[in-house]
Amino acid sequence: MSDEMVKYHKDRAREYEQVYEQRDPRRQEEQDLIRVEMMNFLSGVGVIDIGCGTGYWTQRVSETARSIVGIDINQTVLDIAISKTYRCPTEFKIMDAYRIDYPEKTFRGALASFWLSHVRREDLDGWIEQMHKILKPGARIFISDNTFLEGVGGDLVSKPGDPNTYKLRTLNDGSKHLIVKNYFTKNELLECFSRHTRCVTGENIFHGRCFWWIKYILDN
């Protein structure tokens, strides 16, 4: 992750969870669906929460998971995560999500919430391949993120010759950050993940107005 992205998440740590308090009924409905889907899908397994941030989604999946290891590169957000209470054995480690330092076939479940949009398109295949390596055959994977909504989350910025998109965001302290923020159609998600597993079809993907998610069981 770039230094600018690390700084952005550090500076945003205290205000990060405000985004989940927006009163848009459709947004809240889909947000609740994400919570229910991830809790059900990851029930009873040991989960690695990649890019866990402040532990917002970690806390929710802890209601059903067997155990959780949350990783993030930023100590500031981990300090917030560590301060919370969880319903299953949970630990947190400073770790780069692009260099996950666990042996192959360690976990039976993986969670990545609102992380994939910050991965550069040219790095997607490598990141998925790395994630799959640390998972056991038959592991359960749940990934969720935002869909594009005009006017939400800052101005969308494109750069000539760059396949990625960016958001210019202003934090509560007035600081401005240009961050990688990629949005994916359902077909793009299907094409990308199908390159790495035979288990993904359109049935594995929800693509709503505000959010999307993909859930699948890794090939044996």
Is residue 40 in some structural domain?
Answer: yes
CATH of the domain at 42: 3.40.50.150
Is residue 76 in some structural domain?
Answer: yes
pLDDT digits (tens, 9 = 90+) for 91-103: 999 999 999 999 9
Whether the CB-CB separation of 18 and 37 falls below 8 Å is answered with: no
Residue 187's Cβ-count burial label (10 Å; 0-12, 13-18, 19+) is exposed
- Burial letters 205-218, b for 16+ CB under 10 A, else e: bbbeebbbbbbbbb
Is residue 63 in some structural domain?
Answer: yes
Is residue 177 in some structural domain?
Answer: no
Whether the CB-CB separation of 131 and 50 falls below 8 Å is answered with: yes
Domain that holds residue 58: 3-147+185-217
pLDDT band at 4 (very low <50, low <70, confident <90, very high): low
pTM: 0.92
Is residue 31 in some structural domain?
Answer: yes
Is residue 169 in some structural domain?
Answer: no
What is the rounded average pLDDT of the residues 58-85? 96
Q: Indicate whether 80 pLDDT > 80.
A: yes
- Count structural domains, the chain: 1
H/E segment holding residue 130:
helix 124-133
Q: Indicate whether 45 pLDDT > 60.
A: yes
pLDDT digits (tens, 9 = 90+) for 144-187: 999 998 877 677 899 999 999 998 877 778 888 788 999 999 99
Is residue 157 in some structural domain?
Answer: no
Is residue 179 in some structural domain?
Answer: no
- Average pLDDT value over all residues in the chain: 91
List of E strands, the chain: 46-50, 67-72, 90-94, 107-113, 135-146, 155-158, 165-170, 176-180, 205-207, 211-217
